[in-house]
Chains A and B, each alone.
Chain A
Amino acid sequence: MKKFLFLILFLFSVAIFAAEDFYNFSNKEQEKRFRDLTLNLRCLVCQNQNLAESNASLAADLRQQVYQKIISGESDQQIIDYLVSRYGNFILYRPPFNTKTLVLWAGPFLVLCFGMIFLWRALRKR
């Protein structure tokens, strides 16, 4: 009888602890933040892969760190600042807007403006 009970308990425990998620969040919003953050951070040792999808062990460590920081209540900006201070801007797939990336961010807009001006002038000549 005791054995039988134990077996039942054992079965139940399996049912309860089955298939644990790697990252447990208290709400959907945290989960979404975690997903967005890891998708937009670069795995530092891979050729060109983000943290969410990389299988490298460094990426797994960083994922864990991001996870811990999210559940301890840090904001996205705090986490990004921390990672940038340690690994530099290389880790960000969205480069920050500063003097070094001015051309990168303004370039497409300028090209579009030039194109439109060119178009306008071409059409006015008619």
Chain B
Amino acid sequence: MLANLGCLSLVMALVCAVGQVSCQRAFSWHPAFLKKSLDATSRKKRSAGMTNIFPLTQFFFLSLAMLCLMLSFLTNDLSIIYVNEHSHYLLPFIYRIGATWSGHEGSLLLWCLILSGWTVVFLFCSQKKLSSEFFSAVMKTLGIVSTGFISFLLFTSNPFKQDFLNAPQIGNDLTPVLQDPGLIFHPPMLYFGYVGFAIGFAFAIAALITGKFESDTARACRPWIIFPWSLLSVGIVLGSWWAYRELGWGGWWFWDPVENASLLPWLSATALIHSLIVSEKRNVFKGWTILLAIITFALSLIGTFLVRSGVLVSVHAFSNDPTRGIFLLSYLALLIGGALLLYTFRIKKFYQAPNFNFFSRETFLLMNSVILVTAVATILLGTLYPIILDALNIEKISVGEPYFNTVFTPLMLILILLMGLAPHLKWSKAVMPAERGAREVASSDFKLKTLDATSRKKRSAGMTMIPSTLLGFSLPPLFGFNFYFLTAIALSFSIYLLLSTCVYAYQHKKINSMVIAHIGIAVIALGITANKSFSEERQIKMKPGETVSLAGYQFKFENMNETQSANYQSLVANFTVTKNNFSSKISAEQRLYAYEKTLGKPGIIFNPWRDLHLVLGNNFPDDAWAIRIYYKPFVRWIWAGGFLLFIAGMVSLLKYYKRSKS
């Protein structure tokens, strides 16, 4: 019953999505036949009234479908194939909610729901800020994206598919790794980010179609990039934190293709935010901003394709059942190919000769774009290259952390250096088209002025390089860590960014979103550097009663005991950690779920400076256990920095909201 209702609402949602595409007002860019429809005023009036109905009803039906699926999980309706593959009658309530989006079908439904949710929010917030022509082009584009994804959901991966004949009695259970609070928050956050970039994409398409991307349009677009970006930052951080807590390697990033898929749009959106600010404030880089908006959403789609088509598990598994992959790939090619084609035809309209000095913020923001785009290309290459080689049957290779350390890390170091410097530079004074005649004189004059003004600022910004280098080289030995040259360099750069941003905040007497975000990045960089360089670990065979030491901490293996929870039994190893006056208990678990699925659950104690991470391994005949202990300094800084990025986004939105009110 619920399944039928859910399926029906999906069909209705598809109808609404098609309606959203077809019932927008026509555009003036198209010749002849659409013009005719423009003339038909009665039709225009009618469709104007209809415009808002379709996104709203679409959202209603998708929410209804989501509700149906969730209720099916809560009531454990095992006749639905998707439910019986991902649920179990003993599964706790909270994980049944999370299980709704734990598999392919459910997570796609979440994708569609979130897209529709963004559309509705956009409808309420921005309709009045944009010209009706521009607005309907945005809505139409969003409708096209939505139509594609709802049909993908309905035709290749319907979550409500039922099988009454082979319905099992208990259900296949949710993969133990997913039975964690991370499942409730991480996927929605990530999708809010991923999918939210659709609005930026729609803005880009609308700009290309209407031929208008003025300062105020860029301004209206800004929250729709920053908001998803903030949520994506949180999503990535949550994912990293989840992997760290759950997978028991003490690692927080593995350059896994699935992780890369979330980092790609994030990097590109970061470039987009900066480029958009320049477009808004200086009315330049418009073509570049539009291209970045297209690329960002394209990367979200590529990520969805990589994760959802099964191509990552094995290229050959993908070619055995290619329906989903082919659908997504052709949809991707059509949407992005179409967008890029439109871009090449229409971009000339947006060309504007750069009118700024070399030592200006504009130049440095362009450099930021170049580096971030290179970073995107690097990760994309590293992720796709093994897949392509394998698909062409050339060779099976692996691309992992050493590759990214060699290629990606230097890029990030350059970026950090630029980030420290750029805010201290002034915007260049624009040369207006009317002044073109006097341009030569003017620009040289401006050049002198800006150079003079910036050199003073730059000097103070440059001065912070000295203490940061000193700190970077002296801090590790001071605190008893080993000295590595590369670590010292990376630390110096990160400390430079931190100090330089603080100097900026002090000079300008303000802490704005830029300051918070840049400090966030510095904190992340510090955390990564310290964590990568100073982590320690030990793998030992231990019996209860024994003690080992790591990084000055004494780990005493107290005892083993067994506990019973709702849907698993666990073996718990209890340890006591001591160091000087510090003493704490820490327990690592091994859980046994239904169907013999096991899961190790590390024991973690933390403070801002370090984590102690304990993993329980297998047991030996003589009552000893394999134990891994990790000492992970500064690992919390990485996530704290991520949350600073989120806060920065929120501050920026708040300011935007206040300004648009006044």
Residues of chain A touching chain B, judged by Cβ–Cβ distance below 8 Å, are 14, 18-23, 35, 39-40, 42, 47-50, 52-53, 55, 88-95, 100-101, 103-105, 107-108, 111-112, 115-116, 118-119, 122-123, 125-126
Chain A residue numbers with a CB within 8 Å of B371 are 112, 115
- Please provide the 6 A-B residue pairs with the shortest distance between their CB atoms, ordered closest to farther: A93-B400, A115-B370, A94-B402, A53-B249, A108-B378, A111-B377
Contact check, A21 vs B539: say whether CB atoms are below 8 A apart: yes
Nearest Cβ in chain B — how far from A35, in angstroms?
Answer: 8
Q: Are A19 and B256 in contact (CB under 8 A)?
A: no
B403 in contact (CB, < 8 A)? yes
Asked if residues B406 and A89 are in contact (CB atoms below 8 Å), the reply is no
Contact assessment for A92 and B377 in the assembled complex, using a CB-CB cutoff below 8 Å: no
Known: A20-B541, A48-B256, A126-B355. A93 touches B394 (CB 8 A): no
Residues of B near A111 (CB, < 8 A) are 373-374, 377-378
**B401 within 8 Å of A (CB atoms):** yes
- Are the CB atoms of A107 and B377 closer together than 8 Å? yes
Contact yes or no, B363 A112, CB < 8 A: no
Q: Which of B554-600 contact A (CB under 8 A)?
A: 557, 600
Segment 423-449 of B: residues with Cβ below 8 Å from A: 443
Would A93 and B370 count as touching, CB distance under 8 A? no
Q: Complex formed: what's the CA distance from A14 to B389 in Å?
A: 54
Q: Are A123 and B397 in contact (CB under 8 A)?
A: no
Q: Please measure, in the bound complex, the distance between the C-alpha atom of A104 and the C-alpha atom of B379, giving whole angstroms.
A: 10
Whether a CB of chain A sits under 8 angstroms from the CB of B224 is: no
Interface size class of B (residues with CB under 8 A): 35 or more
B-chain residues with CB within 8 Å of residue A95 when the two chains form the complex = 397-399, 403
Which of B353, B381, B541 meets A22, CB within 8 Å? B541
Cα A47 to Cα B254 in complex, Å, equals 12
Q: How many A-B residue pairs have CB under 8 A?
A: 128
CB pair A93 B402 closer than 8 Å: yes
Contact assessment for A93 and B367 in the assembled complex, using a CB-CB cutoff below 8 Å = no
Instruction: Name the residue in A18, A19, A95, A125 with the highest tally of chain B Cβ atoms < 10 Å from its Cβ.
Output: A19
User: Whole-angstrom distance between the alpha carbons of A126 and B356 in the complex?
Assistant: 7
CA distance A93 to B405 in the complex (A): 11
B281 contacts chain A at the CB level, 8 A cutoff: no
Closest Cβ neighbor of B249 among chain A residues? A53
Closest to A105 in B: B407
B395–A88 CB distance below 8 A: yes
Q: Shortest Cβ distance from A64 into chain B, in angstroms?
A: 12
Write the chain B residue with the least CB distance to A93.
Answer: B400
Decide if B401 touches A39 in the complex (CB within 8 Å): yes
Beta-carbon contact of B397 and A90 below 8 Å: yes
Are the CB atoms of B389 and A100 closer together than 8 Å? Answer: yes
Distance A48 CA – B354 CA, assembled complex (angstroms) = 46
A89 (CB) vs chain B CBs: closest residue: B397
B537 / chain A contacts, CB cutoff of 8 Å:
35
The answer to whether residues A122 and B366 also contact, given A19-B547, A104-B382 and a CB cut-off of 8 A, is yes
Q: Is B130 an interface residue (CB 8 A)?
A: no
Q: Which residue of A lies closest to B617 (CB)?
A: A55
Task: Sample 17 A-B pairs with CB under 8 A, ordered by A number.
Answer: A18-B546, A19-B540, A20-B541, A23-B539, A35-B537, A40-B401, A53-B250, A55-B600, A88-B395, A89-B396, A90-B397, A107-B381, A108-B378, A108-B381, A112-B374, A115-B373, A126-B355
- CB of B342 closer than 8 Å to a CB of A: no
Task: Report whether B395 and A89 are in contact in the complex, using a CB–CB cutoff of 8 Å.
Answer: yes
Do A108 and B398 have beta carbons less than 8 Å apart? no
B257 sits at the interface (CB 8 A): yes
Q: Report B310 CB to chain A, min CB distance, Å.
A: 12
In the assembled complex, B313 has its CB within 8 A of some CB on chain A: yes
Q: Within the complex, what minimum Cβ distance (angstroms) separates A111 from chain B?
A: 4
Distance, CA A60 to CA B313, complexed state (A): 22
Residue on A with the closest CB to B356? Answer: A126
| Contact between A93 and B547, CB atoms less than 8 A apart | no
- From residue 224 to 276 of chain B, which have CB atoms closer than 8 A to chain A? 249-251, 254, 256-257
- B374 A40 Cβ-Cβ under 8 A: no
In the assembled complex, the CB of B482 is this many whole angstroms from the nearest CB of chain A, namely 10
The answer to the question of B626 belonging to the interface, with a C-beta cut-off of 8 Å to chain A, is yes
B540 — which chain A residues lie within 8 A by C-beta? 19-22
CB <8 Å contact, B546 and A104: no
Distance in angstroms between the alpha carbons of A103 and B380 in the assembled complex: 12
**A34 shortest CB reach to chain B, Å:** 11
Q: What is the distance, in angstroms, from A103's C-beta to the closest C-beta of chain B? A: 7
Assembled-state Cα–Cα distance A42/B443 (Å):
57
